[in-house]
Structures are given as C-alpha cells and as structure tokens.
Chain A
Amino acid sequence: MDHSTANLWPLLKEVTGYIFPNEIELHWGLLVVIYPYLTGLVAGAFILASLVKVFNVREVQPTYRLSLLTALAFLIVAPLPLVAHLSRPERALEIFLTPSVTSAMAMFGFVYVWYLMAVLLLEIWFDHRHELILRAEKEKGLKRVFLRVLSLYSKDIRPAALAFDKKAVYVITVIGVPSALILHGYVGFIFGSVKANPWWSSVLMPIVFLFSATVSGIALMLFLYMVITLFRRRKLDMACLDKLANFLFYMMLIDFTLEGLDFIQRVYQAEESIKIIGQMISQRIFVSLIVIQVLLGMLLPLIAIAAVKIFRFPAELRRLIYFVSAILVQVGIFATRWNVVIGGQLFSKSFRGLTTYKIGIGGMEGLLVSLAFLVLPFIILYALVKILPPWGEDATHRRATAAN
C-alpha cells in the first residue's frame, strides 16, 4: 500500500450500531474546530471595538486599539488551519481564484478578503496614521523607512486630514459591524446549511455562532486587558473591567437562551434523528457538552458575574471573578465549537450508529499543530503591539503636539 490507513483500523472496534462503511474516517478534525473558534474571536473582538466608536461606550476605550490588533492577529491565523486540513493544500488558492458560486465554503475568500482589507487593515491604518507619521519623523535609518512604508508615505497631518482620519474610522466601523456579523454568521452558515446533517442543519446556527463569537471575543479582551496591564505594571481601569464584564454577562445570557431554544426545539420536534442525537450526546459528548460547555463555560461564569452585580464585591474579588470567568468562557466556547464540529460527525447518517474521534499527537491534524495555531495569534499580536503600540501614551503625546 502506498498510503497509510493504519489509523482507521482501531476505529472499527469503537463503532456502536451500524454506520455506513465510508463513515469510519472522521473528516473534519481538531483543525476545523479551531477555525470557527478563531474567527469567532475575530468577530467578537471587533464588535467590542465598535462599541467604543459607534455606540460611544467610553468605559471600554482602553481596550479599543488592542481589540482591533487582536482581531487582526486572529484573522491572519484563521485561514491557516483550514488550509492545513485540506488533503491537497497545494490547491488551496483555487478557492480564491476559481470559486464555485453556489458553494457556501467558496464565499470564504470574499468574506475574508473583504473583512481583512476593507475593514480591519483600513481602520487600523486610519487609526494609527498620525502616530506613524510622527514616529517616523523621530526615527532614523531602516526603522524610519519601515514606519514610512506602514504609513503608506502619507505626510498630511493638518487638522483637516486628522479630522478625516477620525471620520473614516467611524465610517469603517459602521461598515465593520455588519461585516463582523457576516463573517461569523457565515461560518455558522457553512454548518447550518448542511441539510444532510441534522445536528448542524438549523436556521439558528449562524445566529448562535454570532452570539457565541461575541461572548468569546469580549472574554478574550477581558483576559488580554488584565494580563497585559499586569505585565505593563499599570493600574487596571475598574470601570472598564466592570463594563466589559457587564457586556459579557448580557451577551452570554442571549447566547445561552438561543442555544437553549435550539435544543428545546430539537427535542420537542423530535424528528427522525432525535434518537441518535440523544445517544450521541449521552454516550459521546456528555462531558464536553453538558459539563464543559454548559456548566463550566456558561452557567458558572453567569452565576459568578451575576453575584458580582448583586453583592457589590470589593475590586480585588471582582477582578479575580472576571479573570476566572473569562478563562472559563474561553474553554466553554472552544467546547461549543468542538461539540458542533466533532459532535456532528460522531453519528452515522444512517441514524443507526456512533463512531469515535481520536486525536493524534503529531502530524498535520494532530494536537501539536493545533496548539501551534492557537498560540500563533498571540505571537502575532505581540509583534503587532510592538509595531503599532495601542497604549494611551502616544495618544497623550498626540494631544500635546496638537495643542502646540
């Protein structure tokens, strides 16, 4: 044999009931779990950033620029697990160059490029343009050239131009909010539109994806803001933290309600697939769905933040609760993606049997590569923060120079 199918043989023993013979191989593994997880963080982080600009929520201003850079870092990585999971990755560009217009997946290129080029990069550029020009003037040599290139050789820092920057950022954010919603709603649609799979096929899928994306994005920014502020040895802005936790709480409530509705609808409708889905949940994903996603990732943080709202805990305890909640929510949302992607493949389309999924350690679809894809956005974010410092100091400096 010129190929390896060795990993499929042990799976034969794990099958319960009857599955179609071609269903032994589970086609979308850990990498495809990571893809919607990462895009969800992108959309969530951007929606948080837009709160500042469009909805004028002043309290979360400290996270605005960091959110944009986080969204960019995660967006850069988002397509990588997709490409890596292809069995012919060398043909990946065909999706961009010759997309089939009827395919939900082919739209990825359009949605991705639109979001990257027309929203994120543009907004970040307008937001940082002034600083880049000022910094370039102060630097010498290669660093100066680099900063000049980043500013796209623009030099205009007259008040009129700066006012235009501000206006542009606002307009882009207004366009960006629906774009972020489309980006992640679209990822939900990739699954929700598969009528062959009753676990995926649901009109609510894009909407549930959207809200869980917002939840994960806000939780990530809460986490990053706390960790980065700690490393920078600055004081945490409690008003900002409280507001973030507030948004997180309400988004989680909506998300949880929607997921609950979806679940009740399925159980009550009790279609042909309900029996096998019930078996799949109780025998295969009980821990990741009921324990991790619902109890640890949703109910526990909800109760904890609700307690904060009711009992007015001291700041230190609030910080601790927010920090732990943010981590729990991340784990919970990752489990959500897992339960959708992997859960949908654990039962046979004959509705008569279950199969299993085993993660390998090495290899393209293995645990190590997947971990690398989860760590990579943070490395990119570190670099982005070095190149485009999102902190207030520069803004203060700008205000000072503007006053002069």
Chain B
Amino acid sequence: MKKEDKRHMIVGRRDFCKLILGGLGLLLLPTVTSFASRKRGYERWYGTKYNPKEHRYGMGINVDRCIGCGRCVDACKKENDVPDEPFFFRTWVERYNIGEKEEVIVDSPNGGEDGFKNNTQEQRILRSFFVPKLCNQCDNPPCVQTCPVGATYKTDDGVILIDEKYCIGCRYCIHACPYGMRFINPRTRTADKCTFCYHRILKGLSPACVEVCPTEARVFGDLSMVASPLRRFLRMNKIMVLKPQLNTEPKVYYAALDMEVR
C-alpha cells in the first residue's frame, strides 16, 4: 500500500478485524465472572464437624399410614415461617377419593393443614387415601438446570436449596418443577420450597414434618448409611416415585402409591 493511501485510512483492515474480534471477545466476559463468583452460601453453615459429602438425604412416605391430619403442613409452616395464606406450601397433603365409577376426586383444602371434612353419605367411595407431598429433592433437578443465575443449587448431600439473596425472581424454576413444589415467597419475593429443614438436619434432627407425624408415615434418613431407617423402609416396601418418566430421579420415595397420584 502506498504511503499516501495509508494517511487517509483511520483504521487499517487488519486492525479493524482485530477490533471487531476483540469486541466480540468481551461477550465471553460473563462466563469468566460467572465462574469466578460461584456463590455457595450454604458452606458457611457447615462448621468443621459436618462433611456434606458423607451424607445423601432422602425421605420415605408410606401412603397407607397417612391419616390426613395435616400436622406436618402446620409444623412446616411454623418451622420455616411459610406465609399463612393457602397459596404457599412447602408441603401439603392431598386426599384421593375414588368413586364407584372409578371417578377420581382430589382435594387439598388449605393444603390439608386443617385436616379434611368427612365424605358425605351420598358419595359412594370405593377407596380413599391421603398423599403427603413435598419437594422431591431430585437427583436430576430441572429447577437447578433452568435457574439462570445459579441461585438454586444442589448441595453435596443432595438437598436442593435456594439462595434468597441471589434469586432474581424470574420464576423459570417454578415452571420447570413438574411437581408444583415451588412458589414465590411474597416476603422475600424470591423462589421458595421445602429444604428438608436443612437447618435442622445439619444438627442431626429430623425435618419438622417428620418430627410431628403421629403415624410415622414419613421416614427421613441418610441414603448413604446402610443401617438407616430410610434404607430399611426402601428394603421392606415396594417403592415408587412421582412422575418417574420425566427422569428427575426423586429422592422422596413412596410406598403403596396409587396410580392415580401425579
């Protein structure tokens, strides 16, 4: 290129291409910052004695034992300060009434917190049962996969938690959960759900719902311990999980689960 030509050029072609590529390179900056700022808020709770890698928590639910008293729902709301209104539940109990003509009527008034009204005499009920529901703490959790900022995460002991200081309230996780377990807590305006009472289990206590259940319909335990009550529960019963076809690999295991339950 002639000297004269160069004087007119503000930016040469090569420099121009470099500028463009450099500019586009800036697009990758968020990836770097993302890895640099991986937030793991729960680690500060552990202290020195607790090693999350040594545990893997799960829950067993014996449908035949649940009497629909709703004490678990009440205990959960009190323990975890869940808003009182009937739109926010970390756990609830459903009643299934299957009539003579195989029609299925499901209800859960106020999440079953106040118990259930008796069926009337006119209703011809073939069979009836209660099903407690809570976050399934999936091993392959769609909520964690979809959270755009990593505010929902899986701990090393297998519990799915939400960092309420980080959640942006986009609600994608709520849509991703096949079990309807998540809600927006109106106080924090962030996603909320069952944590297996993580603050309790770290201290070796059971979750509040398990603690208050009068019939031991709920069994909490450590899947990594062969001698735990939960492992015994899994050995002694025919086990089913909710919506297994979605490959979420739940860690809440149901015994005597009916095909009508979704």
Q: Mark A335-363, 1 if CB is under 8 A from B, else 0.
A: 00000000011001111100000000000
Top 3 closest pairs, chain A to chain B, by CB: A87-B169, A20-B180, A196-B178
The yes or no answer to A265 lying at the interface (CB within 8 A) is: no
Residues from 90 to 131 in B contacting A, C-beta threshold 8 Å:
92, 94, 104-108, 110-111
The yes or no answer to A153 lying at the interface (CB within 8 A) is: yes
Among B37, B147, B187, B246, the residue within 8 A (CB) of A2 is B187
Q: Please list 7 pairs of residues, one from A and one from B, whose beta carbons are closer than 8 Å in the complex, sorted by A's number.
A: A3-B83, A17-B106, A28-B171, A98-B33, A103-B172, A114-B24, A117-B27
Q: Mark B132-173, 1 if CB is under 8 A from A, else 0.
A: 010000000010111111100000000000000011111110
The yes or no answer to A384 lying at the interface (CB within 8 A) is: no
The yes or no answer to A80 lying at the interface (CB within 8 A) is: no
Binding site for B on A (CB under 8 A): 1-5, 8, 12, 17-25, 27-28, 82, 85-89, 91-92, 94-106, 108-110, 113-114, 117-118, 122, 153-156, 158, 161, 164, 190, 194-197, 200, 344-345, 348-352
Q: Tell me the complex Cα distance, A72–B29, Å.
A: 24
Q: Say yes or no: A22 contacts B262, CB within 8 Å.
A: no
Q: Which residues of B contact A194 (CB under 8 A)?
A: 142, 146, 175-176
Q: Which residues of B contact A117 (CB under 8 A)?
A: 23-24, 27
Q: Which of B6-14, B51-59, B202-210 contacts A (4 or more CB under 8 A)?
A: B6-14
The yes or no answer to B88 lying at the interface (CB within 8 A) is: yes
Q: Say yes or no: B181 contacts A22, CB within 8 Å.
A: yes
- Distance in angstroms from B262 CB to nearest chain A CB is 5
Among B110, B148, B184, the residue within 8 A (CB) of A106 is B148
Q: Which residues of B contact A102 (CB under 8 A)?
A: 144-146
Binding site for A on B (CB under 8 A): 8-11, 13, 20, 23-24, 27, 30-31, 33-34, 37, 39, 83, 85-89, 92, 94, 104-108, 110-111, 133, 142, 144-150, 166-172, 174-184, 186-187, 189-190, 246, 262
A-B interface contact total, Cβ < 8 Å: 182
Q: Which residues of A contact B148 (CB under 8 A)?
A: 94-95, 99-100, 103, 105-106, 108
Q: Say yes or no: B180 contacts A91, CB within 8 Å.
A: no
Q: Say yes or no: B147 contacts A92, CB within 8 Å.
A: no
- With A23-B180, A350-B262 known as contacts, the answer to whether A18 contacts B31 (CB < 8 A) is no
Q: Tell me the complex Cα distance, A349–B105, Å.
A: 16
Q: Which residues of B contact A23 (CB under 8 A)?
A: 180
Q: Tell me the complex Cα distance, A237–B37, Å.
A: 56
Q: Which residues of A contact B86 (CB under 8 A)?
A: 12, 21, 24
Q: Which residues of B contact A91 (CB under 8 A)?
A: 149, 166-169
Q: Which residues of B contact A196 (CB under 8 A)?
A: 142, 175-178, 246
Q: Which residues of B contact A28 (CB under 8 A)?
A: 171, 175
Q: Say yes or no: B168 contacts A118, CB within 8 Å.
A: no
Q: Say yes or no: B10 contacts A156, CB within 8 Å.
A: yes
Q: Which residues of B contact A94 (CB under 8 A)?
A: 148-149, 166, 168
Q: Tell me the complex Cα distance, A122–B19, Å.
A: 12
Q: Which of A23, A88, A352 neighbours the largest number of chain B CB atoms within 10 Å of its CB?
A: A88
Q: Tell me the complex Cα distance, A85–B171, Å.
A: 9
- Distance in angstroms from B92 CB to nearest chain A CB is 5
Q: Which of B85, B175, B246 neighbours the largest number of chain A CB atoms within 10 Å of its CB?
A: B175
- With A88-B169, A91-B168 known as contacts, the answer to whether A22 contacts B34 (CB < 8 A) is no
Q: Which residues of B contact A89 (CB under 8 A)?
A: 168-169
Q: Say yes or no: A164 contacts B180, CB within 8 Å.
A: no
- Distance in angstroms from A124 CB to nearest chain B CB is 15
- Distance in angstroms from A156 CB to nearest chain B CB is 6
- Distance in angstroms from B8 CB to nearest chain A CB is 6
Q: Say yes or no: A22 contacts B183, CB within 8 Å.
A: yes
Q: Tell me the complex Cα distance, A104–B145, Å.
A: 8
Q: Which residues of B contact A21 (CB under 8 A)?
A: 86-89, 92, 108, 110-111, 180
